[in-house]
Amino acid sequence: MNKFGDRVRELREQQNLLQRQVAGKLDIDTPMLSKIERGERRAKREQVITFSEILSADQNELITLWLADRVYEIVKDEDLATDALKVAEKECEYSKKPIAKA
């Protein structure tokens, strides 16, 4: 599973941008971008934000995919993956931050 990298590549190609161009704005070299797109290396959180700006993409979408990749990495070989995710989800519900100024 490499949802983040796949999406980044998709967006980049849709907009006919070269790795060189995107990498430049991220201040990384093209080998690094290539690896991020293929899921061989993981982008930093700040880079995910930058990706969304460069690619005029939905920041929330990219962060979600980026997180999902990391989560999936942990549970991917586990029979109890779904159970574990549900437990984590419940904990998220429980400890959800109150919305500021709601």
Angle CA 63–65–68, to nearest 5: 105
Rounded CA gap, 90 and 61, in Å? 21
Closest CA to 66 of 8, 15, 24: 8
Q: Which of residues 36-95 bind a second copy (CB under 8 A)?
A: 60, 63-65, 67-68, 70-72, 74-76, 78-89, 91-93, 95
| Encoded tokens for 86 | 């549900």
Q: Which is nearer to a second copy, 56 or 60 (CB)?
A: 60
The answer for 37, left when phi > 0, alpha when psi is -120 to 50, beta otherwise, is alpha
Q: Does 101 bind a second copy (CB under 8 A)?
A: no
Stated as kind and residue range, the H or E segment containing 17 is none
For position 41 contacting DNA by CB under 7 A, the verdict is: yes
Q: Which of residues 26 and 85 has its CB atom nearest to a second copy in the complex?
A: 85
- Residue 9-38 contact track with DNA, rule CB under 7 A, x = bound: ---------xxx-------xxxxx-xx-xx
Chain residues that interact with a second copy, rule: CB under 8 A: 1, 3, 60, 63-65, 67-68, 70-72, 74-76, 78-89, 91-93, 95-97
